[in-house]
Structure formats: C-alpha cells, structure tokens
Structure 1
Amino acid sequence: MLRRGSAPSTGPGLTDPDQSATPPPSPSITEDIMGRKRKGRDISGWLVVDKPAGMTSTAVVNKVRWALDAKKAGHAGTLDPEATGVLAIALGEATKTVPFITDALKAYSFTVRLGQATNTDDAEGEIIATSDLRPSDDEIKDALGQFVGDIMQVPPKFSAVKVDGQRAYKLARDGEDVELTARPLWVEELVLTDREDDDHVTLEMTCGKGGYVRSIARDLGAALGCHGHVRELRRIWSGPFDAQDGITVEQIDALAKSPDLDAFLRPLEEGLADLPEVKATAAGATRLRNGNPGMVIASDVDYGEECWASFEGQAVAVGIYKAGELHPSRVFVQPTE
C-alpha cells in the first residue's frame, strides 16, 4: 500500500473521508472563548492518539488539552465517534501545520456489511433496504476499480455538509429529503483484504481528503446490486502518523498532568514531513521570524515551490521559495525562543 505524500487537490471546502455527522469546531483549534485568552502552557508538538470507539474527536482534543494543560490544541481530521485509529492532535505552534496533515494521504481499514443499506451508511443507522444477493470475491475485486483514481461521490445524508446554511444531518433528522451534490475524491488504492463471511468484506483504502468512507461502502453495495454499509472503520495512518504508534486514552488519563505524558509529544516538524526542507541562514532565520523573506540554502527545491525552512534543527517558517529566499506564509514561534 502506498504510504505518505499529499494527494492531488480535490478542490476547496471538502470534508475528510472520516467526517462524523457532528460538525467539528470551526476552526478545530480550541483557544479562545468569547474573546478571552485561554490559560495554559505554551506547549507545542504533536500527540498521536489511537482513538477508541464511542468517543468524539472533539472530546479527545479536549482531554489531551486538559491532560497536558495546553493553551492551544486542534486535530487534523475528524473521525466518526464509532471509528478508531489515528487522531493526530496538534498543540501550540504545531496547529499551524494542521493543513499539511489534512491534505496528506491517509489509509483506512473498514468492514462493509453486505446485503443491508442504512440511512446513515453505517451500523448506527436504520436499515432501509436489504438484499439476499452476495457477490463473490472476484466480483467485488472487479467492482473496486471504479472507485480508484479521481472519482465523484455524494456525501451521506447524515453528514456535516451544509445545505442552504444548515447541516445535512440536522435536516435528515428532521425528516427532510436531503439532496447533496457529488464531490471529487482522490483514491490512490482500494483493495479487498479479508472476507470474514458471506455478509462481510474488509477493505483497505488509501486516499486524499474530501470524501467519506461511508459513501464508498454505500456506492460499492449499489454497484454490486446488494446494498452495503460500514460496520467498522479504522484509520491506519495519516500522513507521517501511524495508529500503532498512538497513545491510548487510558494512557492519557493515567499520565495526565505529569512529565511522563510530555515524553509522548512529537516535534511540530513532523507535521511538515510532506514538504521539502530548506536551511535558513542565521540572518535569514531572523528575517523569517519577523515575517520577512529570508535567505535559505536549498538544493532540490524549484522556484515557486512551497517548502519549510529550519534553523538549528527547528522549523522557522513555511513559504514559497524564490531565488535563494523563502517568502513566508506561516511563521513559527518556538517555545524555546
């Protein structure tokens, strides 16, 4: 399975493949309440959490922020409450790198229940259609090809997509017939990995942002003529972050407010793994920190390419490389400075 790297752009305003029916905060970074500055430590970095089922992504962010007494925290891509796996929590200055993790490729393992369609396209909804047809493994593999590459998909009716200013899931709960527009999604890979029984198939998908795993299950069931919905969903990795390296919620509770939890923090620079790095000169680093173009040393970076500059091992800024200088779009204020 292909790892890492940013997917081809699928256009603005799209949600993640694992977007829950409950909208994330906007922005997803929790810092100010009614204009009052939130208290806490100026701590920066990434905490990779292996999210359990039954917990919202926002609840995980709030727990991490509390446990680390962090002033600023946010996540890089919502997971459904019943989904598990990588939930990357950015803290402090690392929140400035969230867009690069959101744009990166991600991998999911999910089980599709064949023979049943639900109104939410997952196991939490009501069954609205059934079928006795069960396709063979070969038929399933043949059908997967139409969901690879640049595809168009319609989000689930129970999703956070806005329709005339209102969330689709709210309209659906009110009994309204919600018509959503198809949206683009880049799918790098979609493969059959297991057939538990006639009713269940497990798939692995590598994709960019901008779609819904639930829609893949629904549309695959429709293509096979047997209906389908997601029974289980796990995000295996997201950009540079792996589920197997994630800390559990139980560990967070046990280590809360202690230096032992700080030891699980990963540097904010990991959020820039998909961008090329250039080295700032001492004078260039000073200029970049002040928001001005600064001199950098680059080898494999093209004119006009987006990259990040480091100085003495720390990220200084993200910007556009032009003729020996980085023109910054984001500047990092590291806690040690």
Structure 2
Amino acid sequence: MGRKRKGRDISGWLVVDKPAGMTSTSVVNKVRWAFNAKKAGHAGTLDPDATGVLAVALGEATKTVPYITDALKAYTFTVRLGQATNTDDAEGEIIAQSESRPSDEEIKAALGQFVGDIMQVPPKFSAVKIDGERAYKLARDGEDVELAARPLWVEELLMIEREDDDHVTLEMTCGKGGYVRSIARDLGAALGCYGHVRELRRIWSGPFDASEGLSIEKIDEMAKQPELDTHLRPLEEGLADLPEVKATPEGTVRLRNGNPGMVLAHDIEYGEECWASYEGEAVAVGIFKAGELHPSRVFVKSEDL
C-alpha cells in the first residue's frame, strides 16, 4: 500500500496575488501548508518576476484546473524598447541594442499583427521541453536552443501608456500557452528597435481577478486559522466556462459511481462537454448524450471527504 497523504480534505479555489520573486510552485506549497491541505495545484504558471493572479486549487477543485488553464487570461506589461535580452525580460543579459524609438502611432499600428490566431516562438528561457529537457536548462548550459512556433489566440492587444521614449505599457487578453515575453521580443523586432519585458502582471484568469487575490503576507497571517477558510471559493467557479446541466437524484447516484446518469438540460448539443450539479454541488464533468451525462471527471461529495 502507498503512503497516505497527510493533511485536510478541503476543496476549493484560492486566488493569490503573487508577488515578484516567488515561483508559482512556491506559492502552491505555501497555500497547501497554510490550509494544511492534502492536495493543491495551480492553473497557469507565472514567471518568478511576474505578479498577479495565481489561482490555486485545493482537493477536488484540482479536477477543474484544466478549465481555468484553458480559459482566457489578461496581462498588463511594460516593454523596454531599444534592448533585446537573452531571456526576453529584464533578468537577462542584453544581447542587442538600438537607438531607434518608434512613435506611439507606429506602436499602435504594429500591434495588429499580434491579434487573432498567431504563431509564437516561446522564449529560449522557458519551461518548454526539448527531447525531455526543459529549454531553460539547456539555455543555461550554453546550448543553442531552437524552439518551434506554436499557435496562440490573442483576443486583444492594446497600448495603455507611453511612460517615456524607452517604455510602453500594453494590455493583452489571450488564450492558453501565451508568452508575454515573446510578444515583447517580437514587437520590438517588428518595430526595428528590439524589446523585452520590464514588468508583467496577470490581472485576471478566467473567473478570477487580481483585485480579489490574497497577498502572501495575508496568507501567512491567517495560516492554519479558520479565517483563512472563509477566503476559499467553491470548486464550481472553476467550471464557469462550461455549460451546466442538472442531474436527477437517480442520475446523481449513477454519476458518482462513474456511470452515465440522467440529467435535465436546455440548449445543450449532443456531444457537448458540460458539468452536472445536484442541489448546487458539482457532481461530474462529461459529455452530454441523449439525456445522459457520460462522466470524464467525478467529484467526491463534500461530506464524504
């Protein structure tokens, strides 16, 4: 038998306003410790120097992580014009410079090529795997890393502020897998002046907003206390982008056992992914077929935890 994981069976989402200088994994470990939770995970890595929304799932809510990871996210970021770095952010070494500086109008005109379905090459210092190795590890070892371009949906990219000739602040709304550092790098290239990210903040991720996030200091202050539990949001919030159907009492029993169960649905198409609830609590996620939900993920009833 495997070792039983220690900690509380507690489920839900905690929105953290991640500080600069802390890894996403460190934030998750801090939250797990503060709640004394058995299980925790996050929905979408932030670079150590980035700040803003890091949504941390506890317990059964970890089963909804993919739906937040796939949701739209928004970032504000400041691009340092005139310099390229090997990491595409301010932490790296400057590898190219230019005295050229674009006008506001030139910047706004260039943003259009980064909206819609685009192809993006991740930064060489990123967690993308190459033959089983992380790209950043290979880059740190001095290897010439070649990364393939990958698709990205960018819903919106706006110029927010021009602080001075050397800096421009942008706001981007995009789908899964976007690298803001790549946008800064490629925008600088398109403008003929180079560029890298100086500051980056994720302002919202799916249903979670930075204004609602707890600081690490607050989490430390309330750690292991009942007050902290009041900041936990229901796991159902992680399913906000999926349509909801209502399970019948009999259907609920079948779904909780991993079998197809009868649901009441309106405007749901055959083969569509959705989630079933019973008396306000998530029962399962699955595919709707002819009046039944065929479950792919089943949630343990809260009182059974």
- TM-score band by shorter chain is over 0.9
- SS of match in other structure, 1:231: strand
1:190 aligns with 2:148: no
1:52 aligns with 2:19: yes
User: Could you list the runs of 5+ residues in structure 2 that have no partner in the other structure?
Assistant: none
- SS of match in other structure, 2:126: coil
Q: 2:250 is matched with which residue?
A: 283
Q: 2 CA distance for matches of 1:272 and 1:53?
A: 28
1:69 aligns with 2:36: yes
Q: Deviations over 1:294-336 (max 9, x none)?
A: 0100012111100000000000000001111100000000322
1:305 aligns with 2:263: no
- SS of match in other structure, 1:232: strand
Contact 1:183 1:211 in 2 (8 A): no
Q: 2 CA distance for matches of 1:40 and 1:210?
A: 32
Q: Deviations over 1:87-136 (max 9, x none)?
A: 00000000000000000000000000000000000000000111111100
1:252 aligns with 2:208: no
Letter paired with 1:224: L
Q: What pairs up with 1:81-92 in 2 under 5 angstroms?
A: 81-92=48-59
Letter paired with 1:308: W
1:229 aligns with 2:186: no
Aligned counterpart in structure 2 of residue 121 of structure 1, from 88, 91, 97: 88
Q: What pairs up with 1:80-229 in 2 under 5 angstroms?
A: 80-229=47-196
Q: 1:7 is matched with which residue?
A: none
Q: Deviations over 1:244-283 (max 9, x none)?
A: 0011100000000000000000000000000000000100
- SS of match in other structure, 2:231: coil
Q: 1 CA distance for matches of 2:2 and 2:104?
A: 56
Q: CA deviation at 1:175?
A: 1.1
Q: 2:6 is matched with which residue?
A: 39
Q: 2 CA distance for matches of 1:43 and 1:97?
A: 15
Q: 2 CA distance for matches of 1:334 and 1:105?
A: 29
Q: CA deviation at 1:35?
A: 5.1
Structure 1 outlier segments of 4+, above 4 Å? none
Q: 2 CA distance for matches of 1:319 and 1:145?
A: 37
Q: Deviations over 1:124-154 (max 9, x none)?
A: 0000111111100110000000000110111
Q: CA deviation at 1:290?
A: 0.3
Q: 2 CA distance for matches of 1:36 and 1:149?
A: 48
Q: Deviations over 1:165-196 (max 9, x none)?
A: 21111111111111111111110100101111
Letter paired with 1:99: P
Contact 1:93 1:334 in 2 (8 A): no
Q: CA deviation at 1:211?
A: 2.5
- SS of match in other structure, 2:303: coil
1:327 aligns with 2:297: no
- SS of match in other structure, 2:302: coil
Q: 1:10 is matched with which residue?
A: none
Q: 1 CA distance for matches of 2:88 and 2:232?
A: 35
- SS of match in other structure, 1:37: coil
- SS of match in other structure, 2:144: coil
User: Could you list the runs of 5+ residues in structure 1 that have no partner in the other structure?
Assistant: 1-33
Aligned counterpart in structure 1 of residue 209 of structure 2, from 224, 238, 242: 242
Q: 2 CA distance for matches of 1:103 and 1:262?
A: 26
Q: 1:12 is matched with which residue?
A: none
1:295 aligns with 2:280: no
Q: 1:11 is matched with which residue?
A: none
TM-score normalised by L of structure 1:
0.89
Contact 1:296 1:324 in 2 (8 A): yes
- SS of match in other structure, 2:47: coil
Q: 2 CA distance for matches of 1:251 and 1:257?
A: 12
Q: 2 CA distance for matches of 1:170 and 1:264?
A: 37
Q: 1 CA distance for matches of 2:132 and 2:95?
A: 27
